[in-house]
Amino acid sequence: MVFSSAIFIYVFLPLTLLGFYFLSRRAGMVAGSLWLIAASLVFYAHWKPAHLGLLAASTLGNYLIGRWMQLWPAQSRRLLVFGVAGNLALLGYYKYAFFLCGQVLALPLESCGRLSGDLPLAISFFTFTQIAFLVDVAHRNVAALSLQRYSLFVTFFPHLIAGPIVHYHALAPQFEDGGRFRITAENLAVGGAIFTIGLFKKAVLADRFGAVASPIFAIADGTGTVSTPAAWIGAGAYTLQIYFDFSGYSDMAIGLARMFGIAFPENFNSPYKATSLIDFWRRWHMTLSQFLRDYLYIPLGGNRHGGWRRYLNLMITMLLGGLWHGANWTFLVWGGLHGLGLVLNNLWRQLYRPATPPGRVYMVGCWLVTILFVMLCWVCFRASSLDTAVKIYSAMIGLNPDGGTLPPQPPHMYLLMLAGVVVCLWLPNRQSCFAATVTGGKLFQLLRFRSDLIYTAVIALMLIASLVSVFRNASPEFLYFDF
């Protein structure tokens, strides 16, 4: 079940909100929390019920390890190693065993066939969330621990499928705060507006950009050739698609949590406005970047052992971050490219130390280099194989001047792509518009959230346009649901 599906919007969400509202008011917060746990399990099982047992076992197993770490602090280090190893083994078996068997070890497919089972939904996200929990317990950042709160922490449906990656010590206190964790008119209004903005990004923008990119990449996947204009349009369309897909999902997750009075960390902060690759990774998938920094880069040594060791740690972190997205050489190459880009970015900052702040021309040049690098890397991320990526890259540099024609597109599609660029680069982002205090020019003041008739009408129109798109797309899917 995805957030932009009709069954979620018209059935699951209203029933979940109503059930939580009445149970928490009449039977107490424990009953309301149990209702949310049950609803979240239904939400997860809707995709494939067979994997529900795996989620339940993972949740119970990690809870017990965390509890034992609190009861026997002298053994916490051993228990931490055991817990992290168990989580990684589970993730490795379901997500990487077939890849290692067939691609890395080059064993016959008949020997690897039994490892090619369906990938459990969201296994990367709930595994990383629980690894962070165990580390936090070991560092004594977790106080009181109960199975009910922990189960709700792991399964809470707004973040279960694709993040943001949250911490128990940040979320559990909110579940205990009866003055906050409840349905109110303000929570519904603010959360509903944020959800609608995210739904609009996903259903109206991202899905249409995907309709441009997918046929071009499909040609490259097959035996056809791609023309130079088609390659650039396909790369640009996917660059916009993944931006609005993940930005929309992040907004929808934050909005859904807010409906219940829960505050999620920000996960997306206008990354295409970045003027360096370092800045890009501080803005894109922020909770994953923080997880990789805190639980991989820093434990590897971070920047504490000199320059070359720092760059090696950075490359390892980005390679594993790329592989986290999927068991495919394309993700590994994508991560390696970003690792190399970050190394070069850090070296440039060491070599280039201007006496005065850089001018506008220099900063525009930095932005162009950054966005071009990110777009070229997205080609590898989107391609189903390295051969497909090579085809697209070859066409982009003009090696297929007589390639296939560009798949036909409605005339308004290119205007919509231009509008997408304007939204990415010029308009204030969602968190700026919903901040308690809004700083900026007249445009920021005009777009800031307020409970007046005009703003309500704009949100209503966005919701109507989104719902029309939802009806037209019978099988919506978020890109990050695959990871």
- The C-alpha angle 41, 472, 121, rounded to 5 degrees, equals 25
Q: Are 389 and 235 in contact (CB under 8 A)?
A: no
Residue 412 is a catalytic residue = no
Secondary structure in 3-state letters for the chain? CCCCCHHHHHHHHHHHHHHHHHHHHHCCHHHHHHHHHHHHHHHHHCCCHHHHHHHHHHHHHHHHHHHHHHHCHHHHHHHHHHHHHHHHHHHHHHHHHHHHHHHHCCCCHHHHHHHCCCCCCCHHHHHHHHHHHHHHHHCCCCCCCCHHHHHHHHHCHHHHCCCCCCCHHHHHHHHHCCCCCCCCHHHHHHHHHHHHHHHHHHHHHHHHHHHHHHHHHHHHHCCCCCCHHHHHHHHHHHHHHHHHHHHHHHHHHHHHHHHCCCCCCCCCCCHHHCCCHHHHHHHCCHHHHHHHHHHHHCCCCCCCCCHHHHHHHHHHHHHHHHHHCCCCHHHHHHHHHHHHHHHHHHHHHHHCCCCCCCCHHHHHHHHHHHHHHHHHHHHHHHCCCHHHHHHHHHHHCCCCCCCCCCCCCCCHHHHHHHHHHHHHHCCCCHHHHCCCCCCCCHHHHHHCCCCCHHHHHHHHHHHHHHHHHHHHCCCCCCHHHHC
Q: Are 183 and 22 in contact (CB under 8 A)?
A: no
Tokens representing residue 344 in the block: 């070069």
From CA 293, how far away is CA 280, in angstroms rounded?
Answer: 14
| Catalytic site residue from 51, 159, 285, 325 | 325
Tokens representing residue 114 in the block: 């039994």
- Burial (CB count <10 Å: 0-12, 13-18, 19+), residue 103: middle
Cite the active site residues: 325
